[in-house]
Amino acid sequence: MYKKYFATAFAFALLITAVFSPAEAETTADPADTSDTAQQERLPLRELRLFTQVFEQIRRGYVEEVQDTELLENAIAGLLLELDPHSVYLNEADYDDLQESATGEYGGLGLEVGSERGMIKVISPIDDSPAAKAGIEAGDLIVEVDGAPVRGMAVQKAIDKLRGEKGTSIHLTVLREGEDGPIELDITRDIIQLSSVRSRLLEPGYGYVRISQFQVTSGKDFRQALISLKEDGPLKGVIVDLRNNPGGLVPASVEIADAVLDSGTIVYTEGRLPSSNTRFEATNGDLLQGTPMVVLINGGSASASEIVAGALQDQQRAAIMGTQSFGKGSVQTVIPLGDGRAVKLTTARYFTPNGRSIQAEGIAPDIIVEPAEIRLYQKRKQIREADLEGHLEQADNKTEETQDSEEDITDDNQLYEALNVLKGFQLLGKAVSEKPPTKLE
């Protein structure tokens, strides 16, 4: 029996040797060449034999029986495990999750949910989603999914149950405040598109754009966000928030940087394969037409976030504020294996326009702002002219009107300081533009 197993394992080793023959190496060796270089181009047979011995020992002696396919899959994962933290083997589930994260698409109902009292609470239905069309409202409690109670179910498990292929139906039992009894709903799943870009005005003229990750549509969504902000009135400044953005797709980061640049290099990559050596250049057309910008980063800003921050910093297009970024300066290529599985392999390093490799270094902000708590100083009310009895009224007899149109962002000191910097840019710009030209004799 042992000879049979050993023969099988050794055949596997010979198969590996045949698949990875020297003919497939980048430099083909002369069969008659016995130099060290030629030897290094061949796979080490000694280690392959060692592998087959370990494989057989596990197969025969491990306390529980392990399928050969599982052992081989673990071996493949081990090939990438020691390379770097970002090169990994992706099984079918992992590959599906990666594709969903990159595209922002999934089959489901379009619900943001949480947990409350052991039940699934609807935080918000997405506009025009199957859930919204079926009448699900924020605050609803989902108590049963297809007749199975969800009490005590983990949120992630509940999300998995709610998701499914487009066109499939699901039956929900919902409790709603003010209703006498449970509500029964049959909903057909559809493709849900999530956007990683959110925008709003902090104050009139000052826009805020939050990018949570870089997906396929992030570049288009970013451009649309800027256009929408401009429709609300002339922009004096824009804050782009990349804090805790772990990265994503390099093309999306290039699109976002290109949207606010007129020319110049955005990023370039260098690797061993010719396809890994790429340079991305900005095209003409700054959507903001030079409007001052601040980019917020922190230790959670990585990879594609650092591409954007590094490009805008080197091009002197934006002030970078916050704290040191993560320092992931490597590019991963996803290589499908044709059977629902894939390999994510580090294939290049990327460099900012000025040639900086930020691998394990990160982007240093132009203005360091550590997270802190803002507390207003409580002091005694000071007496002013308007408080004095018999004070003169304003010459135009106008009373001062206050307008509460500003968002309170004092709970986020980094955002608060970024807005102050933008206001400083605006004041400085006015001062420079209003200064009379110097007369030369």
Instruction: State the Cα–Cα distance between residues 91 and 343, nearest whole angstrom.
Output: 9
Answer yes or no: CATH 2.30.42.10 is held by domain 106-193. yes
- 263 as an active site residue: the answer is no
Residue 175: C-alpha distances to residues 109, 121, 128, 132, 137 (Å): 17, 10, 22, 16, 10
Strands 367-368 and 183-188, by their bridges, are unpaired
Catalytic annotation, pick one of 314, 325, 330, 344: 314
Which of the following is catalytic: 303, 305, 325, 330?
303
220: annotated active-site residue? no
State residue 259's pLDDT score: 98
Domain spans in the chain, listed from the N-terminal domain onward: 2-30+39-96, 106-193, 197-368
The Cα 210–Cα 236 span in angstroms is: 18
- Beta carbons within 10 angstroms of residue 50's beta carbon: 12
Q: What pLDDT score was predicted for residue 404?
A: 55
Residue 117 neighbours by CB under 8 Å, 6+ apart: 141
Catalytically annotated residue among 129, 328, 330, 344: 328
- Whole-number pLDDT of residue 383: 81
Residue 190 host element (H or E): strand 190-193
Q: List, in sequence order, every beta strand (DSSP E) within 252-338.
A: 265-271, 278-281, 293-297, 319-322, 330-336
Domain 197-368 adopts which CATH fold? 2-enoyl-CoA Hydratase; Chain A, domain 1 (3.90.226)
Residue 202, both tokens: 């902090």
206 vs 306: CA distance, rounded Å: 23
Question: Identical fold at 106-193 and 197-368?
Answer: no
Count CA atoms closer than 13 A to 391's CA, side-chain side. Answer: 10
What gap in Å lies between CA 89 and CA 95, rounded to an integer? 9
State the Cα–Cα distance between residues 169 and 146, nearest whole angstrom. Answer: 9
* 174 HSE (CA, 13 A, CB side): 22
- At 402, the amino acid letter reads T
Where residue 46 falls (left for φ over 0; alpha for ψ -120 to 50; beta otherwise) is alpha
Any residues with CB less than 8 A from the CB of 133 and at least 6 apart, and which?
A: none
What is the pLDDT, as a whole number, of residue 113?
84
The pTM (predicted TM-score) of the whole model is 0.82
User: What is the full per-residue pLDDT of the chain (441 aa) written as tens digits?
Assistant: 444 444 444 444 444 444 433 333 233 334 344 455 555 567 788 999 999 999 999 999 999 999 999 999 999 999 999 999 999 999 999 999 899 989 999 999 998 888 887 788 898 898 889 999 999 999 999 999 999 888 877 777 878 889 999 999 999 999 999 999 999 999 999 999 889 999 999 999 999 999 999 999 999 999 999 999 999 999 999 999 999 999 999 999 999 999 999 999 999 999 999 999 999 999 999 999 999 999 999 999 999 999 999 999 999 999 999 999 999 999 999 999 989 999 999 999 999 999 999 899 999 999 999 999 888 777 667 788 888 888 788 776 554 444 556 788 989 999 999 999 999 998 887 654 555 555 444
SS3 260: coil
13, containing H or E segment: helix 2-19
Confirm if 271 and 357 have CB atoms less than 8 A apart: no
Q: 325 catalytic, yes or no?
A: no
